[in-house]
Amino acid sequence: MHSLPLFHRISGRPVIVAGEGDMGEAKARLVERAGGLVVGPDNPEARLAFVAMAEPDELAARLKARGLLVNVADRPDLCDFTLPSVLERGDVLVAVSTGGASAGLAKVLRLRLEALLPASLGALATALAGARGAMRARWADAGERRRALDAALAEGGPLDPLAPHDEGAVASWLAGGAAGHGGTVEFTLASDDPDDLTLRQARWLGSADRVFYSPGVPAAVLTRARADAVQRELGSEPPAPADGLTVIIRRG
């Protein structure tokens, strides 16, 4: 991974925009849409800067020397951060980035995703945020709560994010939903290419609490697991049963 993806809150905060023409205006609109305050290069409180100029090198260097993170239009070699192509569904933001390699590719991928994600997705996120207290009351154990939500959000589940929902979907699920299943599942890799994982194997990895793997299983496969899942190489004996979902990956 060449960059660390972050969502930076700028609402009410000054952001430097030093731009010329259409590109500068576009950067200013972007900052204002996110709630930021567009200011000039001499503002002492800004921590981010966008430079869209024909000769940006000197200003970019000066801003970086002051400790600002700088984005320079059409100059990825000068950028501390790049701007992804963003798909917005209310509180849900999906960012597609190529690290500055091709803005056109990022845009096309975002447009393809636009057709997949329903308009109701933002309302679903808002409803889930409002239901946190109710979920904690129903499932006091964090692991049980996560498994219940994973099951509800799974393909075909009552809260499948790729399916349209009405306003009462989350409340209806809480009234009758059950915790997701735990246990142990095991599979053997067809190849070292993570794209060869089946949809079911990918879902197992994405929801597992623990991942045990044979020597030689590539890191590219293991990165498909949840970032907070326990990952251990298999010893001579399989792992002992435990609450939650355990996935065992063997190399063919």
Q: What are the residue boundaries of the structural domains of the chain, listed by start?
A: 14-83, 121-176, 183-251
| Backbone torsions φ then ψ of 147, nearest 5 degrees | -65, -40
Instruction: Tell me the C-alpha distance between 123 and 156, whole Å.
Output: 18
In this predicted structure, which of 8-17, 103-112, 236-245 has the lowest mean pLDDT?
236-245
**pLDDT value at position 179?**
54
Which DSSP symbol is given to 241? Answer: P
Percent of the chain with pLDDT over 70: 94
Average per-residue pLDDT for the chain: 88
The pTM for the full model equals 0.63
Fold of 14-83: Rossmann fold (3.40.50)
Q: Which alpha helices (DSSP H) does 50-198 contain, by range?
A: 57-65, 103-114, 121-130, 132-138, 142-153, 169-176
Nearest CA among 105, 26, 108, 107 for reference residue 71: 26
Residue 31 CA, chain-centre distance (Å), reads 21
